[in-house]
Amino acid sequence: MRISLFAVGRLKTGPEKELVARYLDRLAKTGPATGLEFMRVVEVAESRAGNAETRKREEAALLEKALPENAVLVLLDERGKAMDSETFSNQIGTWRDQGKRDLMVAIGGADGLDPALHARADAVLNLGRMTWPHQIVRILIAEQLYRAVTILSGHPYHRV
C-alpha cells in the first residue's frame, strides 16, 4: 500500500522539516518489507478566501484532486477519534491486507477540514486533545507512520 501525506501549508526549512524528512526517510526504507511504501507529501497553499467555509471548500478541492482513486482517506482533526500506536498500526495493516492500494493522511488548514471530506473519510483521528501547530502535527504523524511500520514488522523501535 502506498502512503502519502497531504498538508495545507508549506513547511519552511528548519528543524521541523528536517525531523519530518528523517521519519519519512525511515518509513521509505523500512516500509516495503511490510508492504507499505512511502510515496509523497503533497503540500498546498492555504486558501486566501474571505471566509472559513470557502477556504475549507477550496482546500478540500485540492485534496480531492491529489487523492488517488479508491484511496483510504484518514483525516487528522481535533474532533477525531484518539487511537494508540498499536491500534493505528493494526488499522493500517488491515487496510493493507484488504488490498487497499493507497492511503492518504490529510492535515487541514487553520480552519480545519471541509465537512464533505469528513463524510468521505475512512477514519478521522486526533493526536490528543491539545491543539498542535501544523508543523508539529506533521512531525507527529510522520513518526507514527514510521512507528506503525516497525510495529507491523516486529522491530523493537516500539517498546511498551
CATH number at residue 84: 3.40.1280.10
Task: Find the angle CA(32)-CA(155)-CA(152) to the nearest 5 degrees.
Answer: 55
Q: Tell whether 24 is in a known binding site.
A: no
Does 25 fall in a domain? Answer: yes
Any binding-site annotation on 31? no
Q: What is the pLDDT of residues 83-120, one digit of tens each?
A: 999 999 999 999 999 999 999 999 999 999 999 999 99
Residue 9 labeled ligand binder: no
Q: Is 76 annotated for ligand binding?
A: yes
Domain of 140, in residue numbers:
2-153
Residue 131, annotated ligand binder? yes
Mean pLDDT of 10-28: 96
| Mean pLDDT of the region 33-52 | 96
Question: Is 53 part of any domain?
Answer: yes
As to burial, measured by CB atoms within 10 angstroms (0-12 exposed, 13-18 middle, 19+ buried), residue 156 is exposed
Is 159 part of any domain? no
Q: Is 130 annotated as a binding residue?
A: yes
| pTM exceeds 0.85 | yes
